[in-house]
Amino acid sequence: MNLSFRFDPVELPPETKELRQEVRAFLRQEIEAGTFSPNGGKGSFSREFSRKVGAKGWIGMTWPKKYGGHERSHLERYVVTEEMLAARAPTRAHSTADRQSGPVILRYGQEQIKQKILPQIARGELCFCIGLSEPNSGSDVFAASTRATKTDGGWLVNGRKIWTSNAHQSDYMIALLRTSPPTKENRRHGLTQFLVDMKTQGIITRPIINLTGSHDFNEVVFDDAFLPDSHLIGEVDMAWKQATDELAYERSGPDRWIETFPALVELVRRAGEEPSERLAGGIGREVAHLATLRRMSLSVAGMLQAGKTPSVEAAVVKDLGTNFEQALPDKVRLLAPQTGDSQPDSNDDRFEEALRYATLIAPKLTIQGGTREVLRGIIARGLGLR
Amino acid sequence: MADNTDNIIVDTATRIFQDLCGPDTVNEAEKGVWPKSLWGALEESGLPLTWVPDELGGAGAALADGFAVLRVAGRFAAPVPLAETLMAGWLLMQAEIAVPGGPLTIAPIHTDGRIALTADGTLSGRARRVPFARNAGHIAVRAHRGSEPVVALVATSGLPISQATSLAGEPRDDVAFDGAMPEAVRPAAVDQDQLVCFGAAVRLQQIAGALEKILEQSVQYALDRSQFGRPIAKFQAVQHNLAILAGEVAAASAAADAAAEACAGPQIAIGEVAIAKVRGGEAAGTGAAIAHQVHGAMGFTYEHSLHHATRRLWSWREEFGNEAVWAARLGRMVAARGADELWPFVTAGS
């Protein structure tokens, strides 16, 4: 018996070296042109930027060409994604669709919808949000109660989704809606995935301001909103079967360990060329964690490329990754050489901005996309404990 | 989950350890009983000479095969100098010195280790905490002739060896080389730093193996042990601890893979080894602590075999540079490159 989860080494194919340089050159150019600033000063949402990325062929990279994709590998996609994130490029207008919504439509969507929607996503023209959480259904995803009732030619939706990131800027939502009650045998039964056009009459999006003062997530209210039959995704009542592989994509990517990375970069800048032993040791430890996580995350991309569904391995990466990125700002805070009034020329602003951002977003990192508690439950199940 | 490997060398090693390296063998070895039949079976299979080329009397297998064998040895807490003999074979191979039979070890094992080859052809200097020196027939010594790095092969008979042990109860002896006449001396480009890097990669494999073992033991114990009317595996607090342990095991395994890859090139990639030893060493500590917590008082007894793995984890993480040493070195490397080179540094290996 060997219970250890395997993270087989992945060697990035040679074509990714060139691709990486291409992405870096593009990002440098965009920074110089003022499209975005690497310290996040201009926000993370830019439709203009997303269209440029789409034009480069870097959205929907792994999808078939007939749907506007580029038939490239998961590893090439990985390289593009991590370069964008490391530079803090404003990818929010396309990242959800690229990572999650597009693959779901590709796998379970109806043909006419695939032909209509996927090419637009790949061009960077469509922003998606994910309608999962509800006021009484958070970690307990399968308790969702927002209803879709069959009507002539489609479905009528009533209820509320909450904590929906980007809903106010999205063109579409992929929503998990109740179409039947759960059964005694299977409490996950009765939920169905739908494509929701956010301009549909009867949908109201209300902002929920988060603790950083930003408008990111929302409450979305459905009041007799009509969805045509063509917007049904997959099988009625059977969404629980479709949801699991989606999570392997969502949970293992670079976005699960890189969010607070700029704080580490600025710590290195402040440390200078010859840091104290203590500071060097602190930096080294964080870099060791980061590099090992990247290796594991890359390994999951390799498994996806090989056609596997490594959902437990993805949960391991997300648990380790989000704990790392969440703890990082506090490590940085206590390692940083203290400056006062005596060194007016130090890089204070840049450092403080990165640390402030990292500190403020830290709490959400182990909540969004599956809480730490949920992830550890998944890992425990993988170990045969439950 | 790991599948059974289709690697015949690993299968051979696993079979030998399963048959001849049970908990009693490990306990007896700590009392000073040399595990004769275990070592005999290993020698007969040719495993200790995995890395030695055919023409120097070895098996000529790939570096990766030897590392994989060491992971298995780590799982079984093998109380024999298999890792050390493999390392000695590797070091002698750098100098194209034929490898003698019998258990071997290497010296010195510390970054500041310094043994000189004097004008009369004898060695001078001492090496501390040499693993299994008392059991080894020969020691592969990395020495200097003036400023020229050499490798010397020295028989242990007649060498003053003062015995000490690691906290796992394994021999870590101090050896005085003054006046010893080597059986062979040849120049070799491998410097002390590269030897220490290689040693770190070796220990990381053993650490990964031992962590795999304690994960298995802990999961099994949690399923078997009942309290409050149900197996403790059913308690969420225990499940979460085991989930953390599984994460640390996975991280250590990835780190060990990275270090092994770093050794494959003509020069060992120091940054990669540093990353791996920091992360793997940390996983050893965190992992051992959780395994003990899950096992309760039972795991704190000498009778239970948990300590075979955990005491070795505490010992191995300290050797060839502990987390603090490597982290500081890594941090200095990163700082010297500058903030804007951090991301390129992290992605450089791929």
In chain A, residues with a C-beta closer than 8 Å to the C-beta of B336 are 273-274
**Cβ of residue A73 closer than 8 Å to a chain B Cβ:** no
CATH number at residue B304: 1.20.140.10
Give the DSSP letter of residue B166.
-
Q: Please tell me whether residues B160 and B293 are part of one structural domain.
A: no
Q: Please tell me whether residues B147 and B231 are part of one structural domain.
A: no
Least Cα distance to A313 among B320, B174, B249, B227 occurs for B249
Least Cα distance to A151 among A251, A206, A229, A255 occurs for A229
Q: Please tell me whether residues B110 and B220 are part of one structural domain.
A: no
CATH number at residue B105: 2.40.110.10
Chain segment B330-345, per-residue pLDDT in tens: 999 999 999 999 999 9
Give me the pLDDT at residue B155, please: 98
Q: Which of residues 2-61 of B touch A (CB under 8 A)?
A: 2-3
Give me the pLDDT at residue A313, please: 94
pLDDT one digit per residue (tens) for chain A, 386 residues: 567 788 989 989 999 999 999 999 999 999 999 999 887 666 789 999 999 999 999 999 999 999 999 999 999 999 999 999 999 999 999 999 999 999 999 999 999 999 999 999 999 999 999 999 999 999 898 999 999 999 999 999 999 999 999 999 999 999 999 999 999 999 999 999 999 999 999 999 999 999 999 999 999 999 999 999 999 999 999 998 887 666 666 777 898 999 999 999 999 999 999 999 999 999 999 999 999 999 999 999 999 899 888 889 999 999 999 999 999 999 999 999 887 776 666 557 889 999 999 999 999 999 998 899 999 999 999 999 98
Give me the pLDDT at residue B1, please: 37
Give me the pLDDT at residue B3, please: 43
Residue B263 structural domain: 193-346
For A3, residues 6+ apart whose C-beta sits below 8 A from its C-beta are A383, A384, B1, B212, B215, B216, B219, B246
Residue B264 lies in a domain: yes
Domain A130-238 has CATH 2.40.110.10: yes
Count of domains in chain B?
2
Q: Please tell me whether residues B183 and B202 are part of one structural domain.
A: no
**CATH number of A15-126, picked from 1.10.540.10, 3.30.530.20, 1.10.8.60, 3.40.640.10:** 1.10.540.10
Chain segment B265-315, per-residue pLDDT in tens: 889 999 999 999 999 999 999 999 999 999 999 999 999 999 999 999 999
Residue B236 lies in a domain: yes
Residue B1 lies in a domain: no
Q: Please tell me whether residues B287 and B170 are part of one structural domain.
A: no
Q: Please tell me whether residues B133 and B18 are part of one structural domain.
A: yes
Q: What is the CB neighbour count within 10 angstroms for residue B280? A: 34
Q: A253-338+345-382 has which CATH code?
A: 1.20.140.10
Chain segment B46-57, per-residue pLDDT in tens: 999 999 988 877
User: With the CA atoms of A349, A350, A353 and A354 taken in that order, what torsion angle do they form, in degrees rounded to the nearest 10?
Assistant: -150
**Cβ of residue B244 closer than 8 Å to a chain A Cβ:** yes
Burial of B225 by CB count in 10 Å (0-12 exposed, 13-18 middle, 19+ buried)? Answer: middle
Kind plus residue range of the DSSP H or E element containing A203: strand A203-209
Predicted structure pTM score: 0.96
Report how far apart the first and last C-alpha atoms of chain A are (Å, whole number).
18
Residue B2 lies in a domain: no
| Closest by Cβ to A274, choosing from B258, B279, B335 | B335
Cis peptide leading into A262, omega within 30 of 0?
no
Q: Which of residues 275-294 of B touch A (CB under 8 A)?
A: 275-276, 278-279, 282
What interface predicted TM-score (ipTM) does this complex get?
Answer: 0.96
What are the residue boundaries of the structural domains of chain A, listed by start? 15-126, 130-238, 253-338+345-382
Residue B86 lies in a domain: yes
Across the A:B interface, residue pairs with CB atoms under 8 Å apart total 190
User: Stretch B240-247: mean pLDDT, rounded?
Assistant: 98
